[in-house]
A = this chain, B = another copy of it.
């Protein structure tokens, strides 16, 4: 696609804990930052029509149903054809939008994207990727939860898809791809990890071998591949560790009047550190392997995360992410 064509991203107006207010605020920021972006806002008529009539480059697409966080994902996708998630995925399938973002039910987004958009030819299992800020360059980690049980050949596909994402969205020409394992040697780890290592060494361009848990926050790889069970535990553990350590620091800094003064001096430097490590700077986790761009937002997404997700989504579309994944899997 020509780089001057507008990028059309569908957005679920009613997905997420802070919808629709946070979503609409994020859309406004994304539109202001990118003159080449158009938004198809999906949701109940009263929400989407009022916003679309007040903003340029926004089209309202009415979807009267909402899939709740506690509904069975696949059953809800089949039953609620007029839900914001099904309608958004359908816009991509029909070629009216290049991608779809929702901060609603992760399970429903996975089921909706897979069932409605379909899979890229040759993909066995779509995987959810996330971009983790590290002390060095950001790293793509996948799968973070779509597939709790994996076979070695699934991890090989995750590696190829993750590398395509790093090339397209992070601009890394030749991504270094690593396998998450419990030792450096090829013979270490579970049967899954050992077999995946052997396959990846033979089939994955840029494969640099195993990394361990401690290497994730240190950087050193551009793509880290694991099964969706380990990846999900790792991602949530990083969230928990950040929260716990920052909480402890905060408590130490407020523990006396003189500490509070010192903390005020340090505040700008610490804030810039927090900004650098902010997971909201990437905004959404793509479901890689489906035949369209599906961006899954955190349920707690605020305006900044929504705007980041749309910026990342536009970059992915302009870079031809889906086509690149298809090409990489063919070769």
Interface residues of A (CB under 8 A from B): 134-135, 145, 148-149, 180, 182, 188-191, 193, 212-218, 226-230, 232-249, 251-253, 255-256, 258-259, 261-263, 265-266, 269-270, 272-273, 276-277
Copies of this polypeptide in the complex = 2
Residues in B with CB closer than 8 Å to A230 are 229-230, 233
> A142 to chain B: closest CB distance in Å?
14
Main DSSP-derived SS at the A contact region: helix
Kindly identify which residue among B240, B249, B259 contacts A265, using a CB–CB cutoff of 8 Å: B259
Inter-chain pairs besides A149-B190, A213-B237, A249-B249, 15 sampled, C-beta below 8 Å: A135-B244, A135-B248, A145-B182, A148-B182, A182-B229, A213-B233, A213-B235, A213-B240, A216-B237, A230-B233, A234-B234, A241-B245, A253-B269, A261-B265, A262-B263
> A111 to chain B: closest CB distance in Å?
15
Q: Given the complex of chains A and B, what is the CA–CA distance between A278 and B92 in angstroms?
A: 50
On whether A233 and B182 interact (CB within 8 A), knowing A241-B245, A249-B273, A259-B266, the answer reads yes
Residues in B with CB closer than 8 Å to A253 are 266, 269
A214 near B239 with CB under 8 A, answer yes
> A183 to chain B: closest CB distance in Å?
8
Kindly identify which residue among B233, B243, B266 contacts A233, using a CB–CB cutoff of 8 Å: B233
Residues in B with CB closer than 8 Å to A227 are 190
Kindly identify which residue among B218, B244, B256, B273 contacts A134, using a CB–CB cutoff of 8 Å: B244
Kindly identify which residue among B193, B218, B236, B262 contacts A262, using a CB–CB cutoff of 8 Å: B262
Q: Given the complex of chains A and B, what is the CA–CA distance between A242 and B244 in angstroms?
A: 10
Q: Given the complex of chains A and B, what is the CA–CA distance between A191 and B229 in angstroms?
A: 10
Kindly identify which residue among B218, B248, B255 contacts A240, using a CB–CB cutoff of 8 Å: B218
A240 near B215 with CB under 8 A, answer yes
Residues in B with CB closer than 8 Å to A251 are 273
A-B contact pairs, 10 of them (CB 8 A): A149-B190, A212-B236, A213-B236, A216-B240, A217-B241, A233-B234, A249-B270, A252-B273, A255-B269, A262-B266
Residues in B with CB closer than 8 Å to A248 are 135, 273, 276-277
Q: Given the complex of chains A and B, what is the CA–CA distance between A247 and B258 in angstroms?
A: 24
Q: Given the complex of chains A and B, what is the CA–CA distance between A235 and B244 in angstroms?
A: 15
Q: Given the complex of chains A and B, what is the CA–CA distance between A258 and B264 in angstroms?
A: 11
Residues in B with CB closer than 8 Å to A193 are 148, 229
Q: Which of A180, A188, A230, A261 has the most CB of B within 10 A?
A: A230
Residues in B with CB closer than 8 Å to A233 are 180, 182, 212-213, 226, 230, 233-234
Q: Which of A148, A215, A227, A243 has the most CB of B within 10 A?
A: A148
Q: Given the complex of chains A and B, what is the CA–CA distance between A213 and B145 in angstroms?
A: 12
B237 near A256 with CB under 8 A, answer no
Residues in B with CB closer than 8 Å to A259 are 265-266, 269
